Amino acid sequence: MKQKELQNRANLKIKEIEKVLVQVGLKIAKRGEGALFVIGEVEYKSLVKQSVPSFNIVENPKLLESLALIDGAVIIDESGFLKSYGSMIKSTKVLKNFGTRHSAAVSASLKEGNIVIVVSEEDRKLRIFKKGKMIMQIDALEKNVDKSVSQVVNLLESVGAGTIGTIGTGLLVPALGIALLPGVVLFGSAYYLGKVLKNKFNK
Protein backbone atom coordinates (compact mmCIF):
# COMPACT_ATOMS: atom_id res chain seq x y z
CA MET A 1 0.00 0.00 0.00
CA LYS A 2 1.35 3.43 -0.90
CA GLN A 3 2.55 5.80 1.83
CA LYS A 4 0.05 8.50 0.82
CA GLU A 5 -2.89 6.09 1.03
CA LEU A 6 -1.75 4.92 4.49
CA GLN A 7 -1.48 8.56 5.62
CA ASN A 8 -4.97 9.33 4.27
CA ARG A 9 -6.41 6.37 6.19
CA ALA A 10 -4.66 7.49 9.39
CA ASN A 11 -6.00 11.04 8.94
CA LEU A 12 -9.52 9.72 8.39
CA LYS A 13 -9.25 7.64 11.58
CA ILE A 14 -8.07 10.66 13.63
CA LYS A 15 -10.97 12.73 12.24
CA GLU A 16 -13.45 10.04 13.33
CA ILE A 17 -11.92 9.97 16.82
CA GLU A 18 -11.95 13.77 17.10
CA LYS A 19 -15.58 13.90 15.96
CA VAL A 20 -16.67 11.43 18.65
CA LEU A 21 -14.67 13.26 21.33
CA VAL A 22 -16.16 16.65 20.39
CA GLN A 23 -19.69 15.18 20.35
CA VAL A 24 -19.24 13.46 23.73
CA GLY A 25 -17.49 16.55 25.12
CA LEU A 26 -20.39 18.80 24.11
CA LYS A 27 -22.88 16.51 25.90
CA ILE A 28 -20.76 16.54 29.07
CA ALA A 29 -20.26 20.33 28.92
CA LYS A 30 -23.97 21.03 28.45
CA ARG A 31 -24.64 19.21 31.73
CA GLY A 32 -22.04 21.36 33.50
CA GLU A 33 -19.59 18.48 34.00
CA GLY A 34 -15.91 18.25 33.08
CA ALA A 35 -13.60 15.79 31.29
CA LEU A 36 -10.14 15.42 29.77
CA PHE A 37 -9.35 13.39 26.63
CA VAL A 38 -5.86 12.69 25.29
CA ILE A 39 -5.19 11.14 21.87
CA GLY A 40 -1.62 9.85 21.71
CA GLU A 41 1.26 8.91 24.00
CA VAL A 42 1.56 10.46 27.44
CA GLU A 43 2.96 9.55 30.86
CA TYR A 44 0.14 8.84 33.29
CA LYS A 45 -0.76 7.06 36.49
CA SER A 46 -4.08 5.21 36.81
CA LEU A 47 -6.07 6.44 39.80
CA VAL A 48 -8.75 3.74 39.51
CA LYS A 49 -8.71 0.00 38.84
CA GLN A 50 -8.96 -0.52 35.07
CA SER A 51 -11.93 -2.91 35.12
CA VAL A 52 -13.27 -1.87 31.69
CA PRO A 53 -11.36 -3.64 28.89
CA SER A 54 -10.04 -1.62 25.95
CA PHE A 55 -12.64 -0.81 23.28
CA ASN A 56 -12.99 1.31 20.15
CA ILE A 57 -14.42 4.68 21.27
CA VAL A 58 -15.93 5.37 17.83
CA GLU A 59 -18.07 2.25 18.20
CA ASN A 60 -19.11 2.91 21.82
CA PRO A 61 -19.36 6.65 22.59
CA LYS A 62 -21.83 6.05 25.47
CA LEU A 63 -19.33 3.96 27.41
CA LEU A 64 -16.66 6.58 26.67
CA GLU A 65 -18.95 9.27 28.10
CA SER A 66 -19.45 7.28 31.33
CA LEU A 67 -15.70 6.73 31.79
CA ALA A 68 -14.95 10.39 31.03
CA LEU A 69 -16.96 11.43 34.09
CA ILE A 70 -14.57 9.56 36.40
CA ASP A 71 -12.04 11.99 37.88
CA GLY A 72 -8.89 12.02 35.74
CA ALA A 73 -8.02 11.78 32.05
CA VAL A 74 -9.18 9.34 29.38
CA ILE A 75 -6.21 8.24 27.24
CA ILE A 76 -6.92 7.00 23.70
CA ASP A 77 -4.46 5.65 21.15
CA GLU A 78 -4.30 6.88 17.55
CA SER A 79 -6.40 3.91 16.40
CA GLY A 80 -9.27 5.02 18.64
CA PHE A 81 -8.86 2.39 21.35
CA LEU A 82 -9.11 3.20 25.06
CA LYS A 83 -5.77 2.89 26.84
CA SER A 84 -6.72 4.19 30.29
CA TYR A 85 -9.35 6.17 32.20
CA GLY A 86 -9.40 7.93 35.57
CA SER A 87 -5.73 8.73 34.98
CA MET A 88 -3.48 11.43 36.38
CA ILE A 89 -1.19 13.27 33.99
CA LYS A 90 1.79 15.02 35.53
CA SER A 91 1.61 18.73 34.77
CA THR A 92 4.87 20.21 33.54
CA LYS A 93 3.30 23.46 32.34
CA VAL A 94 0.66 25.74 33.81
CA LEU A 95 -2.06 27.50 31.85
CA LYS A 96 -2.51 30.88 33.47
CA ASN A 97 -6.01 31.66 34.83
CA PHE A 98 -7.12 28.01 34.42
CA GLY A 99 -7.25 25.01 36.76
CA THR A 100 -5.31 21.73 37.05
CA ARG A 101 -7.24 19.98 34.27
CA HIS A 102 -6.14 22.65 31.77
CA SER A 103 -2.52 22.46 33.00
CA ALA A 104 -2.59 18.68 32.50
CA ALA A 105 -4.01 19.29 28.99
CA VAL A 106 -1.22 21.70 28.01
CA SER A 107 1.41 19.29 29.37
CA ALA A 108 -0.08 16.27 27.54
CA SER A 109 -0.30 18.20 24.27
CA LEU A 110 3.43 19.01 24.25
CA LYS A 111 4.29 15.62 22.72
CA GLU A 112 4.39 15.78 18.93
CA GLY A 113 1.19 14.46 17.38
CA ASN A 114 -0.91 14.49 20.56
CA ILE A 115 -4.36 16.09 20.53
CA VAL A 116 -5.98 17.00 23.85
CA ILE A 117 -9.57 18.06 24.51
CA VAL A 118 -10.61 19.61 27.83
CA VAL A 119 -14.26 19.95 28.82
CA SER A 120 -14.70 22.73 31.38
CA GLU A 121 -17.56 22.47 33.85
CA GLU A 122 -17.07 26.12 34.90
CA ASP A 123 -17.86 27.83 31.59
CA ARG A 124 -19.18 24.83 29.58
CA LYS A 125 -16.57 25.16 26.85
CA LEU A 126 -14.39 22.62 25.06
CA ARG A 127 -10.77 23.64 24.55
CA ILE A 128 -8.51 21.79 22.13
CA PHE A 129 -4.71 21.75 22.49
CA LYS A 130 -1.87 20.78 20.15
CA LYS A 131 1.86 21.34 20.65
CA GLY A 132 1.34 22.98 24.05
CA LYS A 133 -1.04 25.63 22.69
CA MET A 134 -4.78 26.13 22.80
CA ILE A 135 -5.89 26.09 19.16
CA MET A 136 -9.68 26.02 19.41
CA GLN A 137 -12.50 26.72 21.82
CA ILE A 138 -16.09 25.52 21.36
CA ASP A 139 -19.00 26.94 23.35
CA ALA A 140 -21.36 24.06 24.20
CA LEU A 141 -24.15 26.52 25.00
CA GLU A 142 -24.10 28.07 21.51
CA LYS A 143 -27.35 27.22 19.72
CA ASN A 144 -26.99 24.37 17.19
CA VAL A 145 -23.25 24.01 17.83
CA ASP A 146 -23.62 20.20 17.73
CA LYS A 147 -24.70 20.50 14.07
CA SER A 148 -21.28 22.00 13.24
CA VAL A 149 -19.16 19.12 14.64
CA SER A 150 -18.07 17.81 11.20
CA GLN A 151 -17.03 21.33 10.13
CA VAL A 152 -15.22 21.83 13.46
CA VAL A 153 -13.22 18.62 12.89
CA ASN A 154 -12.37 19.66 9.30
CA LEU A 155 -11.18 23.01 10.61
CA LEU A 156 -9.19 21.28 13.33
CA GLU A 157 -7.47 19.11 10.74
CA SER A 158 -6.51 22.26 8.80
CA VAL A 159 -4.12 23.11 11.63
CA GLY A 160 -0.96 21.76 10.06
CA ALA A 161 2.57 21.49 11.38
CA GLY A 162 4.18 24.83 12.02
CA THR A 163 1.00 26.86 11.60
CA ILE A 164 0.01 27.07 15.26
CA GLY A 165 0.63 30.64 16.26
CA THR A 166 2.46 31.98 19.26
CA ILE A 167 0.21 34.96 19.90
CA GLY A 168 -1.62 32.91 22.53
CA THR A 169 -5.05 32.97 24.02
CA GLY A 170 -5.37 36.75 23.96
CA LEU A 171 -6.23 36.67 20.26
CA LEU A 172 -9.91 35.96 19.71
CA VAL A 173 -11.02 35.28 16.17
CA PRO A 174 -14.30 37.25 16.37
CA ALA A 175 -12.23 40.35 17.18
CA LEU A 176 -10.66 39.91 13.74
CA GLY A 177 -14.04 39.29 12.13
CA ILE A 178 -13.14 35.66 11.46
CA ALA A 179 -15.92 33.69 13.16
CA LEU A 180 -16.16 30.81 10.72
CA LEU A 181 -18.65 28.78 12.78
CA PRO A 182 -21.08 29.84 15.54
CA GLY A 183 -19.63 29.27 19.01
CA VAL A 184 -16.18 28.30 17.67
CA VAL A 185 -13.08 30.40 18.32
CA LEU A 186 -9.71 29.70 16.69
CA PHE A 187 -6.43 30.75 18.28
CA GLY A 188 -3.22 31.26 16.33
CA SER A 189 -1.22 33.54 14.10
CA ALA A 190 -2.96 36.05 11.85
CA TYR A 191 -1.12 34.49 8.90
CA TYR A 192 -2.58 31.06 9.63
CA LEU A 193 -6.08 32.40 10.26
CA GLY A 194 -5.99 34.37 7.02
CA LYS A 195 -4.85 31.27 5.14
CA VAL A 196 -7.64 29.12 6.60
CA LEU A 197 -10.22 31.82 5.89
CA LYS A 198 -9.04 32.15 2.28
CA ASN A 199 -9.20 28.35 1.78
CA LYS A 200 -12.71 28.08 3.25
CA PHE A 201 -14.12 30.84 1.08
CA ASN A 202 -12.42 29.65 -2.11
CA LYS A 203 -14.05 26.20 -1.89
Q: How confident is the model at residue 193 (pLDDT cuts 50, 70, 90)?
A: low
What is the b/e burial string over 65-102, where b = at least 16 CB atoms within 10 angstroms of the residue's CB? bebbeeebbbbbeeebebbbbbbebebeeebeebeebb
184 part of a folded domain? no
Nearest to 98 by CA among 149, 168, 24: 168
79 inside domain: yes
Q: How many domains does the chain have?
A: 1
Check residue 192 and give its pLDDT.
52
Q: Span 65-76, mean pLDDT?
A: 96
Domain of residue 17: give its range.
Answer: 3-145
Question: For the domain that residue 122 is a member of, what is the CATH number?
Answer: 3.40.1700.10
Q: How many CA atoms lie within 13 A of 139 on its CB side?
A: 11
How confident is the model at residue 23, as a pLDDT?
96
Q: Is residue 191 part of a domain?
A: no
Is the model's pLDDT at 168 over the cut of 60?
no
Residue 194 inside a domain? The answer is no
In a domain, 64, yes or no: yes
Whether residue 105 is contained in a domain is answered as yes
pLDDT of residue 45: 95
Which pTM was predicted?
0.82
Report if residue 157 sits inside a domain.
no
Distance CA 66, CA 49 (A): 15
The beta strand positions in the chain, using DSSP E, are 35-39, 44-46, 73-76, 82-89, 115-120, 125-130, 133-139, 184-186
Strands 35-39 and 73-76 turn out to be parallel
Query: Does 181 map to a domain?
Result: no
